[in-house]
Amino acid sequence: MIIFDFDGTIADSLGTVCEIYNELAPAYDLVPIGPENLPVLRELGIRKLLKRLALKPRHLPHVLNQGRRMLRERIEAIKPVPGILEQIENLHQSPRSLGILTSNSSENVEVFLNQFGIRKHFEFISTCPKLRGKAKHLSAIARTYSLSPLNMIYIGDEVRDIKAAKRAAVSVAAVTWGFNTKEALSKHEPDWLISTPDELAKLIAS
């Protein structure tokens, strides 16, 4: 089973997410994200990122929930990562199952996938409302589908995706076209580091 993260891995949503964050920032006294600090933020794991943004733990659930609702209003304007749709089509034709594990809402993901005609390729959409907790969800997916973690691959674009997969004993491929940089991802030693959707297809084929 091949399990994808959504934002930054399938959906090219970083610009929209930063835009929404900046709209919410004044209400929570957060540090804005701009061209001058985004490169530094992309080097950070989730704990250091939240500290750098001055996002207090008690505000995090509210910011996430508001952000997801605001994203729903803009989801139809978000495009796929260039080349990813073709690779999802190719992977679907192989004797493997595809799924999604995301911190976004299932509604947002459903709208996006249906818009581009690829919802039918995914067996499930699993949501993890918290920024941490994907490891438990990966283990739950393994139990639900009677899979060994050895027969699963998680594909994500953030350091937290690598950490979650390792905690669940699931192989992980980190893609460099999302939020965290190649250098930040490589420090956490994913099983594979992927720079283009074509490389992803070759990895799965091998």
User: Rounded to whole angstroms, how far apart are CA atoms 75 and 106?
Assistant: 12
Q: What is the pLDDT of residue 94?
A: 66
Q: What is the pLDDT of residue 18?
A: 97
Residue 19, classified by CB atoms within 10 Å of its CB into exposed (0-12), middle (13-18) or buried (19+), is middle
As annotated, the active-site residues are 5
pLDDT tens-digit readout, 59-80: 999 999 999 999 999 999 999 9
Asked whether residue 172 carries a pLDDT value surpassing 90, the answer given is yes
pLDDT-derived band of residue 95, with 50, 70 and 90 as boundaries? low
pLDDT-derived band of residue 140, with 50, 70 and 90 as boundaries? very high
Averaged pLDDT for residues 19-38: 96
Q: What is the pLDDT of residue 130?
A: 81
For all residues of the chain together, what is the average pLDDT? 94
Averaged pLDDT for residues 101-117: 96
